[in-house]
């Protein structure tokens, strides 16, 4: 099982040789492709051979490219994540409104529960409000408890003047972490043979990652905790490394200790089982100790 997140942050040439990614810098190093879960090309001063990209795609490695500011800007997604993709997509189109609403209810409930646990860690009284919101959630979150909880949650964490639209280091760090989560979840969606454009709740015609936007929600508090702990005055290379490390954070899922990237894999697979079998009890959420 792949587990490594590889970041190329300096000028380099990347090519392929006999099952290895060869990194040519001042020194030459090799990394077994079977070990790589995610490759992040963090600088534009990198050249990559098509042979390497082809092999990485075959192995379902998520490849993220960054812009001149070293922020994620695009990714490489294979056309075919599973041999039976056509059948999977037909099933995806047929998912009923009821099962999608039921799964979304579970996702929202778990997200707010994780947010409440996060506030409890910091001994914030607003945690009690989120606990109440959980009891008020209706089918499909028709009363938008998620939105109400988010406002209370972020104001408690980062201050009453904080908004998610502000241009500051906190939002830069949050956005970076969320983009990593979105990319990791979209990788699993594609790998399982589904398409990211068709969500169960999100349905923005301009968002090609609607389903990933749905499924990533319970993992957002992991990023929030990291950013709150860092409290970055600036958002630079060191802070990015700290946020990137969340993919290797150990959590519990299915009664086993797993790193976060594997937990995302297990969780996404359980979501698809729940949607296809009309049974939300099949969903496996992660648990962690803050």
Residue 43 CA to residue 158 CA, distance in Å, equals: 30
Q: What is the pLDDT along the chain (290 residues), one digit of tens a residue?
A: 677 889 999 999 999 999 999 999 999 999 999 999 889 999 999 999 999 999 999 888 889 999 988 888 888 877 767 788 999 999 999 999 999 999 999 999 999 999 999 999 999 999 999 999 999 999 999 999 999 999 999 999 999 999 999 999 999 999 999 999 999 999 899 889 999 999 999 999 999 999 999 999 999 999 999 999 999 998 988 899 899 999 989 999 999 999 999 999 999 999 999 999 999 999 999 998 77
- Using alpha carbons, select from 43, 20, 45, 19 the residue that is nearest to residue 31: 20
Instruction: Give the length of the chain.
Output: 290
- pLDDT value for 1: 60
How far is C-alpha 199 from the chain's CA centre? 15
Classify strands 36-41 and 4-8 as parallel, antiparallel or unpaired: parallel
Q: Are 197 and 208 in contact (CB under 8 A)?
A: yes
Q: What is the largest CA-CA distance in the chain?
A: 59
- pLDDT value for 2: 72
- Using alpha carbons, select from 216, 229, 207 the residue that is nearest to residue 261: 216
Burial 222-261, CB ≥16 within 10 A → b, else e = bbbbbbbebebeebeeebbebbbebbebebebeeeebbbb
């Amino acid at each position: 099982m792949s587990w490594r997140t590889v970041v190329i942050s300096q000028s380099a040439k990347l090519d392929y040789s006999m099952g290895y990614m060869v990194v040519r810098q001042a020194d030459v190093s090799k990394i077994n492709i079977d070990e790589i879960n995610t490759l992040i090309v963090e600088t534009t001063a990198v050249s990559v051979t098509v042979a390497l990209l082809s092999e990485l795609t075959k192995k379902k490695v998520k490849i993220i490219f960054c812009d001149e500011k070293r922020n994620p800007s695009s990714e490489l997604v294979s056309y075919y994540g599973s041999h039976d993709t056509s059948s999977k997509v037909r099933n995806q189109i047929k998912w009923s409104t009821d099962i999608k609403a039921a799964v979304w209810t579970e996702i929202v409930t778990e997200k707010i529960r994780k947010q409440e646990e996060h506030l409890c860690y910091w001994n914030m009284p607003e945690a009690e409000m989120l606990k109440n919101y959980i009891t008020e959630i209706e089918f499909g979150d028709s009363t938008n408890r998620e939105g109400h909880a988010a406002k209370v949650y972020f104001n408690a964490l980062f201050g009453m003047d904080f908004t998610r639209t502000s241009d500051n280091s906190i939002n830069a760090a949050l956005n970076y972490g969320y983009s990593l989560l979105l990319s990791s979840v979209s990788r699993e969606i594609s790998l399982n043979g589904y398409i990211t454009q068709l969500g169960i709740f999100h349905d923005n015609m301009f968002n090609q990652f609607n389903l990933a936007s749905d499924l990533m929600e319970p993992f957002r508090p992991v990023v929030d905790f990291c950013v709150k702990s860092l409290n970055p005055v600036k958002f630079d290379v060191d802070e990015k490394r700290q946020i990137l490390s969340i993919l290797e954070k150990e959590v519990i899922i299915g009664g086993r200790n797993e790193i976060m990237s594997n937990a995302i894999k297990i969780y996404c697979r359980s979501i698809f089982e729940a949607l296809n079998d009309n049974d939300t009890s099949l969903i496996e959420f992660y648990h962690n100790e803050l």
